[in-house]
Amino acid sequence: MEWEIVMGLEVHTELSTKTKIFCNCSTQFGGEPNTHVCEICSGMPGTLPLLNENVVRYAVRTGVATNCEITQYNKFDRKNYFYPDLPKAYQISQLYLPICRNGYIEVTGGDGSPKRIRIHEIHMEEDAGKLIHDEWEDCTMVDYNRCGVPLLEIVSEPDFRSAAEVIEYLERLSAVLQYIGVSDCKMQEGSLRADVNLSVRPKGSEKFGVRTEMKNMNSFKAIGRAIEYEANRQIELLEDGKEVVQETRRWDDGKGVSVAMRSKEDAQDYKYFPEPDIPPIEISDEYIEQIRNAMPELPEAKKRRYIEELGLPEYDTGIITGSIYLVKLFEKTVEITNNPKDSANWIMGELMKLLNDTQTLPENMSFREESLGELINLVNSGKINRGTGKKVLEKVFCDNVDPAKYVEENNLAQVTDTGAIKAVIEEVIANNEKSVNEYKGGKTQAFQYLIGQSMRALRGKAPAAEVQKILKELLG
Amino acid sequence: MDILEMTATQLGAAVKSGEVTVKQALDAYFEKIDKYDKTYHCYNTLCRDEAYKRAEEVQKGIDSKTLTSPLAGVPIGIKDNICTKDIKTTCSSKILENFVPPYNATVVERLEKAGMIVIGKLNMDEFAMGSTTETSATGATHNPWDIQKVPGGSSGGSAAAVSAGLAVAALGSDTGGSIRQPCSFCGVTGLKPTYGSVSRYGLVAYASSLDQIGPIGNTVEDCANLFEIISGKDEKDGTSMEFPHFSAEKALAGNVKGVKIGIPRDYIGEGIAEDVKKAVLDAAETFKSLGAEVELFDMPIVKYAIPAYYIIACAEACSNLSRYDGIKYGYKSANARNLRETYIKSRSEGFGMEVKRRIMLGNFVLSSGYYDAYYQKALKAKKLIQQSFFEAFEKYDMVLGPVAPTTALKMGESLSDPLKMYLGDIYTVMVNIAGVPSVSAPCGFDREGMPVGMQLIGKPFGETEILNAAKAFEDATDYHTKKPVLK
């Protein structure tokens, strides 16, 4: 039987506001445990939440960028559950009136044509703390730094039919969130987390199968693997005449398997009720319009502009516009080199190779943005050759060196003085009598050998064409 | 005049004129507390050292005329659910028996800024849940008028302390009558302000949408002066509201000529004690004689008030009280062998019966499958109650009624019959549900000599009007001057 996979996503993204959603503590990632904590976010008796208006602004911006309707009369609700990482024993969230509804993001469907993934809702809520299990001491410690970091939960409709669609959606969504400056979407730091609801059904069937929810995927690749695993697991169960149990499963990327965490029967009753400590929030038409007008260029528009105005290939623009960090680097590089094609080529070629080789994500690049443009200018002006350029880029990428300074300090500039090149080649000819004779006897490989020797003697710093020309002259 | 005979406002004036020093005021009160509080148990904690230390600063501020509030230099007692920095705040619960907040409630900040001095934390029903102060884990407070009787609750310690002269003024909190009812039982004056007019920041939450801090004093003037100090928008409380500055002076004109007062028939019908009804109707006559128009009207919604209140209050309470787990602060069971047991035993041993009852009730009404039948319905009732007050205020400037159906009960009576205790809140809870202000003032005594209180309920932010009316009544009567004889 042919099976169809049906998926919906719940994406949690941490907002990059400077302060937490209900107090003035810093939202910065890292930091010694329990240093970004106050009486409010640690839920001390008598304290009250005070809504950070920027969270509302960021949520509306996200809704506008993902084609949502904005709820103009907003309320918060309490989701009650008891867990050590939640000091108030409830999470302030939105159940009844989420701030955004009925949006969509476009991906490429199975037949290659555009397909809309509908967004059911986006709501605002607070993050919980983090539990750190100390196996050595056999105890669990709580770090409340993350408590009260603002989150958006972006809930899709069950519109996905393949892992490719899921990953494209996540790539596009995180690109949008980064472009509009609401989140840095760093999966390893947990600022973007995606839970996958998955069920399978015989192809052609209208009825949904029993679904499971998968958590704990820390990269797009892990999501892809988890989907494949879970779809196969469900299909095997059904083909064996067994049933899929509705449950939450935890993905173990190391082992490549998912493990059941809790079944529907253990599901918590969250006893939601309207949050009494936060008055309703009204959002005016003008407020939404203002945000709409201030919206920066979004990935799709940028991509089209790169193709039409800069004449870049579609594939390259897709890669570059997929990450705000690559976009920023690209635009800075173009600004410095005034050469979009070369800028794109260096990013698509050498930089991508370095990112892949070192398993680095664009958001984790740590060199000065101007360095790439300066380096390209050094190559294009002939100050260094392309080969040297690649080596310098490696140093820029790894150690954040200043390209011009590094070239100078390591004496990497090309020798452009013809007299000096000539002197070196003359010496090579003198030392390689045998090859010279072979060349003169008609052996062309001997010429290549002599070029090689000359370049080595010049330590690669002379233009190859110039060396070839002079060698030919000298050999007659 | 003896310091202990003065009202808070008189004491403030005496301190300002130099007739009395701040230290002398503290000496007088601490001496009286030392003598009598063993008997009445108004206080959970006294902060003698902190108070004397503050007194020096405050005296300097008064001498240099930087502290100009009419209550500067006046000592005050604070209900033990209002956070005081570095001073235990227990909510009269075992679970918070050792909780010392590292922050002040906004109201405490405001009192201190005005030059008032916190002398102690006052007893209450555990987490403000109760109407008798008998649910306190530190033991019951006794009514100064009759030691066998309850002082009312939950701000029983606050009202009894003012009544007994163990505090010249106090702060209480009112979620369903917790300021007004003990004031009525102890023969003192108290104000439950409009929801949102006083910051709740630092008030340990019972039912967040109903809780409101308010003043308790010997006179309307004392309450008005206190309210002026503590009220006003607070950036730390999102539910506190902007409203025109309250001026105590304007609220003390004491003139009710032409004021329209409505009395709900449903407030003086079935279930009310004869003596209470008589005192309230006599008060109505007094108002008439002072030039007010008084009229009876129907408010049939009253019968839904108790169930709606207990559903909403318990729902919020069960959520607000979930954080007490014995880990970060407060009581931790010594008998637990693991984390789960720590949670269960700390909560089982740390909370009293009434609190547990309300936690269970709250969890029940919020459970899936019951939410619509209870909580959702209670919210509808809330809308209707607000609506009926809105309609009443189209016809009347304020509403007059009894605070409670009876005077103070015998100790132990309602503990065995919680439903009876809940029904005693019938006239007070509507005010919290509607979010409107109400002042409770003494208006007579029953045949056993126990005080009776009336309440004047106002429009939202109508504190000026109701305090004015209460002041007019006070000027025309002498109930507020009667004091119990202490044992």
Q: The domain that contains B36 carries what CATH number?
A: 3.90.1300.10
Chain B: give the shortest CA distance to residue A86, in Å.
Answer: 9
Token representation of residue B336: 């637990």
Q: What is the DSSP string of B362-382?
A: HHHHHSTTTTIIIIIHHHHHH
In a domain, residue A90? The reply is yes
C-alpha to C-alpha distance for B477 and B283, rounded to whole angstroms: 9
Which of A269, A277, A278 should one mutate to test binding to chain B, selecting the residue with the greatest count of B CBs within 10 A? A277
Q: Give yes or no for a contact between B225 and B361, defined as CB atoms under 8 angstroms apart.
A: no
Q: Which range of residues forms the domain containing residue B206?
A: 3-260
CB-based burial label for A124 (10 Å; 0-12, 13-18, 19+): buried
Cis preceding-peptide flag for B178 (omega within 30 of 0): no
Give me A374's structure tokens: 């300066």
**Is B257 annotated as catalytic?**
no
Are residues A388 and A422 both part of a single domain? no
What DSSP string describes A178-212?
A: HHTTS----TTTTSEEEEEEEEEEETT--S----E
**What is the reported pLDDT for B62?**
97
User: Which of A200, A111, A103, A202 is CA-nearest to residue A157?
Assistant: A103
Q: Which is catalytic among the residues B92, B131, B154, B346?
A: B154
- Chain B positions touching A273 (Cβ under 8 A) are 315-316, 319, 366, 371, 375
> In angstroms, rounded to a whole number, what is the distance separating the alpha carbons of residues B56 and B75?
13
How close B173 gets to chain A, by Cα (Å)?
Answer: 13
Q: Specify the DSSP class assigned to residue B74.
A: -
Phi, psi of B199 (to 5 degrees): -60, 140
CA atoms of A322 and A445, how far apart (whole Å): 47
Which chain A residues contact residue B236 at CB under 8 A? 48, 50
A272 contact residues in B (CB cutoff 8 A) = 366, 371
DSSP code of residue B250 = G
pLDDT-derived band at B89 (thresholds 50, 70, 90) equals very high
Distance CA B249, CA B257 (A): 18
Do B238 and A277 lie within an 8 Å CB cutoff?
Answer: yes
Residue among A44, A295, A124 nearest B99 (CA): A44
Token pair 């007094």: residue: B286
Among B178, B231, B414, B440, which one carries the catalytic annotation?
A: B178
Q: Give B46→chain A minimum CA distance, Å.
A: 21
Residue B395 belongs to a domain: no
Considering the domain boundaries, does residue B323 fall inside one? no
Task: Report d(CA B29, CA B435) in Å as an integer.
Answer: 35
| Mean pLDDT within B386-391 | 97
Whether residues A260 and A166 share a domain: the answer is yes
A interface with B, Cβ–Cβ below 8 Å: 39, 42-51, 78, 80, 82, 84, 87-90, 269, 271-273, 276-279
Same domain, A280 and A366: no
What are the DSSP E strand ranges found in B240-338?
260-264, 293-297
Query: Does residue B76 sit within a domain?
Result: yes
User: Does residue B443 lie within any of the structural domains?
Assistant: no
CB–CB of A46 and B319 under 8 A? no
Do A256 and A327 reside in the same domain of the chain?
no
State whether A405 and A424 are in the same domain.
no
Quote the tokens at residue B354: 């009434």
Separation in Å, CA of A73 to nearest CA in chain B? 16
Considering the candidates B16, B79, B94, B192, report the single residue annotated as catalytic. Answer: B79
With an 8 Å Cβ cutoff, are A45 and B99 in contact? Answer: yes
Q: Which of A23, A50, A51, A49 is nearest to A37 (CA)?
A: A23
User: Which residue in A has a C-alpha nearest to residue B235's C-alpha?
Assistant: A50
* Residue where a domain stops, chosen among A365, A381, A409: A409
**3-state DSSP assignment of residue B465:** helix
> A19, A40, A42, A47: which to substitute to probe chain B, counting the most B Cβ within 10 Å?
A47
What sign does the dihedral A332-A336-A342-A346 (CA atoms) show? negative
B316–A90 CB contact, under 8 Å: no
Residue B23 is classified by DSSP as H
Claim to verify: residue A350 and residue A431 sit in the same structural domain? no
B477 reaches A (C-beta below 8 A): no
Q: What is the pLDDT of residue A437?
A: 87
Judged by CB atoms within 8 Å, which residues 9-68 of B form the interface with A?
none
**b/e string for A378-387 if b means 16 or more Cβ within 10 A?**
bbeeebbbee
Q: Based on the structure, what is the number of domains in chain A?
A: 3
More confident residue, B316 or A186: B316
Vertex A339: Cα angle to A334 and A342 (nearest 5): 100
One-letter amino acid identity for B24? Q
Cα torsion B110, B126, B204, B423: sign: negative
H/E stretch holding B442 reads: strand B438-445
Question: How many angstroms separate the CA of residue B322 from the nearest CA in chain A?
Answer: 6
Q: Find the residue in A nearest to B202 (Cα).
A: A46
Q: Quick check: A276 and B239 CB within 8 A?
A: yes
Residue B301 within a domain:
no
pLDDT at position A416: 74
Q: Which of residues 164-193 of B touch A (CB under 8 A)?
A: none
Q: What is the sign of the dihedral through the CA atoms of B164, B166, B170 and B176? A: negative
- Which residue is associated with the tokens 């056993």? B448
Three-class secondary structure of residue A266 per DSSP: helix
CA-only gyration radius of chain A, Å: 29
**Does any domain span residue A298?**
no
Residue B388 is a catalytic residue: no
- Does A49 sit within 8 Å of B83, measured CB to CB? no
A82/B371 CB distance under 8 A = no
Nearest CB to B316; choose among A42, A88, A276: A276
B366 touches chain A (CB under 8 A): yes
Final residue in a domain of this structure, among A358, A381, A409? A409
Write down the pLDDT at residue B254. Answer: 93
A22 secondary structure, DSSP code: S
Contact B197, B204 (CB under 8 A): no
- Closest C-alpha to B294, from B255, B262, B264, B257: B262
Tell me A297's DSSP state: P
Q: Are residues A356 and A265 in the same domain?
A: no
Number of neighbouring beta carbons within 10 Å of residue A420: 12
Judgement on whether residues A436 and A386 belong to the same structural domain of the protein: no
Residue span of the structural domain in which A469 resides = 418-475
Residues B467/B468/B470/B471 CA torsion (nearest 10 deg):
110
Residue B221 forms part of a structural domain: yes
Q: Would you say B407 and B448 are in contact if contact means Cβ atoms under 8 Å apart?
A: yes
Q: What's the structural domain count of chain B?
A: 1
Q: Please name the member of B102, B200, B325 whose beta carbon is closest to the beta carbon of A48.
A: B200
- HEC profile of B110-176: HHHHCCCEEEEEECCCHHHCCCCCCCCCCCCCCECCECCECCCCCCHHHHHHHHHCCCCEEEEECCC
What is the rounded CA–CA span in Å between residue A24 and residue B419? 44
End-of-domain residue from the set A365, A382, A409: A409
Virtual torsion, Cα B287, B292, B298, B303, nearest 10 deg: -40
3-state secondary structure of A120: strand
CA nearest neighbour of B116 among B189, B190, B29, B33: B29
pLDDT along chain A (476 residues), means of 10: 95 97 94 96 97 97 98 97 95 97 94 95 97 87 96 98 96 94 88 95 94 93 96 96 95 94 82 96 97 94 94 92 93 95 95 94 91 95 88 94 93 81 88 86 85 85 83 83
Asked if the structure places residue A295 within a domain, the reply is no
Which residue has better confidence, A111 or B465? B465
Task: Return the residue in A21, A44, A75, A81 with the most chain B beta carbons within 10 A, the one to mutate for interface testing.
Answer: A44
E strand spans, A351-435: none
Per DSSP, what are the bridge partners of residue A4? Answer: A201
In our burial notation (b when 16+ CB lie closer than 10 A, e otherwise), range B362-388 reads: bbebbeeeebeebbebbeebbeebbeb
Distances (CA, A) of A55 to A143, A172, A183, B112: 23, 21, 11, 34
Give chain A positions within 8 Å (CB) of B323.
43, 45, 87-89
- Is B445 a member of any domain? no
Q: Which of B269, B230, B216 is nearest to B442 (CA)?
A: B216
Q: Are B45 and B89 in contact (CB under 8 A)?
A: no
Q: Would you call B343 an interface residue with chain A, using a CB distance cutoff of 8 Å?
A: yes
Q: Looking at the partner chain, which of A42, A50, A276 has a beta carbon nearest the beta carbon of B209? A: A276
Q: Closest partner residue to B323 among A48, A50, A87, by Cβ?
A: A87
A300 in a domain, yes or no? no
In this structure, the answer to whether residues A327 and A205 fall within a common structural domain is: no
Q: How far apart are CA B124 and CA A384, in angstroms?
A: 83
* Domain-located, residue B186: yes
Residues contacting B55, CB < 8 A, separation 6+: B22, B23, B26, B73, B117
Q: What is the pLDDT of residues B138-154, one digit of tens each?
A: 999 999 999 999 999 99
Q: Which residues of chain A have a CB within 8 Å of the CB of B97? A: none
Residues 6+ apart with CB under 8 A from A163: A223, A224, A227, A228
Q: Is B209 a catalytic residue?
A: no
In a domain, A30, yes or no: yes
Separation of CA B264 from chain center = 23
Task: Report the pLDDT value the prediction gives residue A189, as an integer from 0 to 100.
Answer: 83
Tokens of residue A64, six digits: 């506008």
Among chain B residues, CA nearest to A272: B366
Q: What is the largest CA-CA distance in chain A?
A: 98
Contact A48 B237 (CB under 8 A): yes
- What pLDDT digit, counting tens, does each position of B192-214 carry? 999 999 999 999 999 999 999 99
Residue A419's pLDDT is: 83
Nearest residue in A to B318, CA atom: A80
Regarding whether A329 and A185 lie in a shared domain, the answer is no
Distance CA B225, CA A361 (A): 63
Q: Is the domain of A197 the same as that of A224?
A: yes
CB contact under 8 A, A45 and B204: yes
A47 Cα to chain B: minimum distance (Å): 5
Closest Cβ opposite residue A269 in set B200, B239, B368: B368
∠ CA B44-B47-B52, rounded to 5°: 155
CB of B100 within 8 Å of a chain A CB? The answer is no
What is the per-residue pLDDT across B326-354, written as a single tens digit (0 to 9) for each?
999 999 999 999 999 999 999 999 999 99
Do the chains contact at B322 and A90, CB–CB below 8 Å?
yes
Which one-letter amino acid corresponds to residue A338? N
The two most distant CA atoms of chain B are separated, in Å, by 70
In this structure, the answer to whether residues A27 and A126 fall within a common structural domain is: yes
- Residue A424 sits in a domain of what CATH number? 1.10.10.410
- Give Cα separations from A316 to A177, A334, A341, A375, B224 (angstroms): 21, 15, 10, 20, 73
Cross-chain Cβ contact A273/B101 below 8 Å: no
